[in-house]
């Protein structure tokens, strides 16, 4: 039996409330607000309180799906990334880099969000980056 | 007491109702809940209790809760009232209060 | 303190110990185990309280045979008693290490996050209910004013469910506060005062007055005061003091030990 309380920052919005994940046997089971965190002082909103729920959700995608003839077909990563890259190339060549926008998510980590904006600016060449929880 | 068809039902009822009466009094809704033991053979008593309680509730006036739940401002203005929180022109018209009793 | 826990972990009295560890000056709840005894040097008694009992309940749900030790304040003791009554924890598998708590003539050096002086703004004083008020002070208001003041407090609610989520004695898998028919989804504030009263009624004979709900409330609703009143009623009507012993709550026992009588209808003098 192992129980860890892992301090983290809420990823839902730009406020940055401190919270603790209750990890029992490598499963996140609960979220608690961090009492001593200067931002939220032991309080959370309903989204923060339920932050642990999407981690182990059965609704999560575990492999890429490619939409072919209106239906999502399971595919492997190389195929999916290859297809996405080809289509991006075509679109950028035809309409310019500003025809692409990158919308990132609150449910991925800070580092992944950073990578996504780097991808938009350095690889695609556009400033069209936004985040669903931009306050 | 103890004659309940559901054996202990009325013991649980009186515990809960007594508790609820105290709690509602604390919140400021005194006298709006009443409990009486009336068997199915006591038609006269039933009529009497219902009549008395209806009279009492009528004397208390309409249920004040809808004024709070339908209108946030009412909660603010109710205590010291006198139309606080109203900014002329900018606020939408306040919803009409629900008439509980005609 | 460290030595006791070390001895317990080494001789197998407990498998894990729930206490607080200082991480970058933040006292955080931490689970000490036999495998990492050296961490015990950082074991502290934190002035900021977390619901350790709740973590213990989660651990027991995951693995019922685990033996847990924990740092226990007075509120933790009361919470444990309630959890024993409701069969959420087994008293044989819990070891407590008692630490100092709320102030009393016996315990002068108290340390508890609830002791920080509460600050109440002028507006709240005028329109709402002072969190630090005593029950007697509230009964001085008339019926109408009391209702208005409580409703002012309730309509601030942002329905974060924090009070329920942090509550050490809330363990139900299905919560009435999430029931579609009782509380509609998507409305703010939640249906007042029903939302708060459902919780208050469920706290009767269960609330152990730890004050964590009020600490977790982002809108500063005087929940502790409300639940204190609820338990006050239980103490006066049923002579039951929640959490002080492992005896059943009056709402739990079926039986004929009731001496209550229905109250008569009072046609006059409603404002008492």
Q: How confident is the model at residue A127 (pLDDT cuts 50, 70, 90)?
A: very high
Cα dihedral A81→A82→A84→A87 (10° resolution): 170
Cβ contact C229:B26 at 8 Å: yes
- pLDDT, residue C110, reads 60
Minimal Cβ distance to B31: which of C127, C200, C266: C266
Q: With contacts defined as CB-CB under 8 Å, which chain C residues touch B2?
A: 256
* CA R_g for chain A: 19
Q: Which of B60, B12, B24, B37 is nearest to C264 (CA)?
A: B37
Residue C25 lies in a domain: yes
DSSP B31-94: T--------TT-HHHHHHHHHHHHHHHHHH-S-SHHHHHS-HHHHHHHHH-TTTT--TTTSPPP
pLDDT 10s digits, C136-168? 888 888 888 888 888 888 888 888 899 999 999
Q: What is the mean pLDDT of residues C170-181?
A: 86
Q: Do C201 and B19 touch (CB under 8 A)?
A: yes
CATH class of the structural domain A3-49: mainly beta
Distance CA A47, CA A14 (A): 13
The domain spans of chain A are 3-49, 61-95, 97-135
Bridge partner residues of A72 (DSSP): A67
pLDDT of residue B92: 42
Say whether C158 and A46 touch across the interface (CB within 8 A).
Answer: yes
**Same domain flag for C126 and C231:** yes
Is residue A1 within 8 Å of C31, Cβ to Cβ? no
Residue B96 confidence (pLDDT) = 44
Q: Are C28 and A24 in contact (CB < 8 Å)?
A: no
pLDDT, tens only, A88-99: 999 999 999 999
Query: Percent of chain B, pLDDT > 90?
Result: 12
Mean pLDDT of all residues in C101-112 = 60
Domain extent for C13: 2-98
Retrieve residue C97's tokens.
């290490």
Look at A32 and C51 and tell me if their CB atoms are within 8 Å: yes
Three-state secondary structure readout of C189-258:
CCCCCHHHHHHHHHCCCCCCCCCHHHHHCCCCCCHHHHHHHHHHHHHHHHCCCCCCCCCCCCCCCCCCCC
Residue C198 covered by a domain? yes
The reported pLDDT for the residue numbered A135 is: 56
Nearest Cα of chain C lies from the Cα of B101 at a distance, in angstroms, of 18
- In this structure, the answer to whether residues C92 and C8 fall within a common structural domain is yes
Q: What is the CA angle C111-C112-C117, rounded to 5? A: 105
Per the domain annotation, does C137 fall within a domain?
yes
Report how far residue C243's alpha carbon sits from residue C85's, in angstroms, rounded to the nearest whole number: 9
| pLDDT above 90 (res A121) | yes
Of A5, A37, A44, nearest to C29 by CB-CB distance is A5
C-alpha atoms less than 13 angstroms from C-alpha of B98 in its C-beta half-sphere? 10
**B26: which 2 tokens?**
């604390």
Give B13-21 contacts, CB < 8 A, sequence gap 24+.
B14/C258, B14/C260, B14/C261, B14/C262, B15/C237, B15/C238, B15/C250, B15/C251, B15/C258, B15/C260, B16/C251, B17/C262, B18/C237, B18/C260, B18/C263, B19/C201, B19/C204, B19/C233, B19/C234, B19/C237, B19/C251, B20/C201, B21/C263
Instruction: Give the total number of structural domains in chain C.
Output: 2
Q: Does B50 touch chain C (CB under 8 A)?
A: no
Categorize the per-residue pLDDT at C75 as very low, low, confident or very high, splitting at 50, 70 and 90: confident
Contact A17, A38 (CB under 8 A): no
Task: Give chain A positions within 8 Å (CB) of C25.
Answer: 36
* Per-residue model confidence (pLDDT) at position B89: 40
In a domain, C266, yes or no: no
Pair (C127, C231) in one structural domain: yes
- The answer to whether the Cβ–Cβ distance between C127 and B8 falls below 8 Å is no
pLDDT at C167: 93
User: What's the whole-number mean pLDDT along residues C245-268?
Assistant: 68
User: Higher pLDDT residue, A110 or C198?
Assistant: C198
Q: Give the other-Cβ count within 10 Å of A115's Cβ.
A: 13
- What pLDDT shows up at residue A71? 93
pLDDT of residue C270: 42
> Residue holding tokens 């001085």?
C140
Taking only the tens place, the pLDDT of each residue in A13-53 is 778 899 999 999 889 999 999 999 999 888 999 889 998 88
Contact A40, A60 (CB under 8 A): no
- Residue C128: inside a domain: yes
pLDDT-derived band of residue C18, with 50, 70 and 90 as boundaries? very high
Q: Are strands A18-24 and A3-9 parallel, antiparallel or unpaired?
A: antiparallel
Determine the pLDDT at residue C137. Answer: 83
Contacts 24+ apart (CB under 8 A), C9-15: C9/C33, C9/C34, C9/C37, C9/C69, C10/C34, C10/C37, C13/C67, C13/C69, C13/C95, C14/C67, C14/C68, C14/C69, C14/C95, C15/A1, C15/C66, C15/C67, C15/C68
- Whether C222 and C127 share a structural domain: yes
Span B50-61, average pLDDT:
89
To the nearest whole angstrom, how far is the Cα of A60 from the nearest Cα of chain C?
23
Q: Which residues contact B6 (CB under 8 A, 6 or more apart)?
A: none
Taking the Cβ of residue A87 and every Cβ of chain C, the question of whether any pair is shorter than 8 Å is answered with no
pLDDT score of B83: 40
B85/A6: higher pLDDT: A6
């Amino acid at each position: 039996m192992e129980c860890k309380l892992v301090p983290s920052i809420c990823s839902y919005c730009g406020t940055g409330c401190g919270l603790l994940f209750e990890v029992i046997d490598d499963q996140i089971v609960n979220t608690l607000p961090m009492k001593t965190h200067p931002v939220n002082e032991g309080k959370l909103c309903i989204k923060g309180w339920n932050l642990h729920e999407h981690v182990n959700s059965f609704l999560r995608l575990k492999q890429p799906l490619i939409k072919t003839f209106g239906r999502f077909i399971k595919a492997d990563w190389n195929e999916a990334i290859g297809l996405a890259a080809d289509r991006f190339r075509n679109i950028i060549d035809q309409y310019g880099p500003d025809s692409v926008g990158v919308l990132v998510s609150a449910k991925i980590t800070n580092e992944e969000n950073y990578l996504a904006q780097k991808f938009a600016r350095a690889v695609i060449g556009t400033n069209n980056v936004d985040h669903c929880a931009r306050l | 007491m103890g004659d309940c068809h559901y054996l202990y039902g009325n013991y649980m009822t009186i515990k809960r109702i007594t508790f609820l009466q105290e709690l509602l009094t604390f919140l400021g809704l005194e006298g709006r809940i009443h409990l009486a033991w009336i068997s199915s053979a006591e038609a006269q008593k039933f009529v009497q209790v219902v009549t008395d309680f209806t009279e009492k509730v009528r004397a208390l006036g309409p249920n004040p809760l809808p004024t709070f739940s339908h209108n946030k401002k009412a909660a603010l203005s109710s205590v010291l009232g006198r139309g606080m929180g109203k900014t002329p022109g900018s606020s939408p018209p306040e919803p009409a209060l629900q008439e509980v009793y005609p | 303190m460290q030595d006791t826990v070390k001895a317990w972990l080494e001789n197998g009295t407990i498998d894990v110990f729930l206490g607080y560890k200082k991480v970058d000056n933040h006292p955080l709840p931490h689970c000490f185990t036999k495998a990492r005894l050296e961490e015990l040097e950082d074991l502290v008694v934190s002035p900021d309280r977390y619901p350790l009992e709740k973590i213990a309940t989660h651990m027991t749900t995951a693995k019922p045979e685990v033996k847990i030790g924990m740092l226990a304040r007075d509120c933790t003791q009361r919470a444990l008693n309630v959890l024993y009554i409701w069969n959420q924890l087994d008293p044989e598998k819990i070891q407590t290490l008692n630490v100092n708590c709320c102030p009393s003539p016996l315990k002068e050096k108290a340390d508890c996050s609830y002791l920080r002086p509460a600050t109440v703004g002028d507006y709240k004083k005028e329109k709402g209910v002072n969190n630090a008020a005593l029950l007697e002070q509230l009964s001085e208001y008339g019926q109408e004013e009391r209702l208005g003041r409580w409703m002012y407090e309730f309509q601030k609610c942002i329905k974060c469910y924090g009070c329920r989520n942090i509550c050490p004695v809330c363990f139900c898998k299905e919560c009435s506060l999430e029931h579609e028919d009782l509380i509609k989804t998507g409305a703010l504030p939640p249906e007042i005062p029903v939302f708060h009263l459902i919780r208050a009624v469920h706290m009767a004979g269960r609330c152990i007055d730890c004050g964590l709900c009020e600490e977790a409330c982002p809108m500063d609703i005087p929940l502790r005061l409300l639940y204190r009143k609820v338990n006050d009623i239980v103490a006066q009507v049923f002579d039951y003091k929640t959490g002080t012993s492992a005896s059943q709550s009056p709402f739990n026992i079926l039986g004929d030990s009731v001496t209550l009588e229905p109250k008569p209808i009072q046609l006059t003098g409603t404002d008492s």
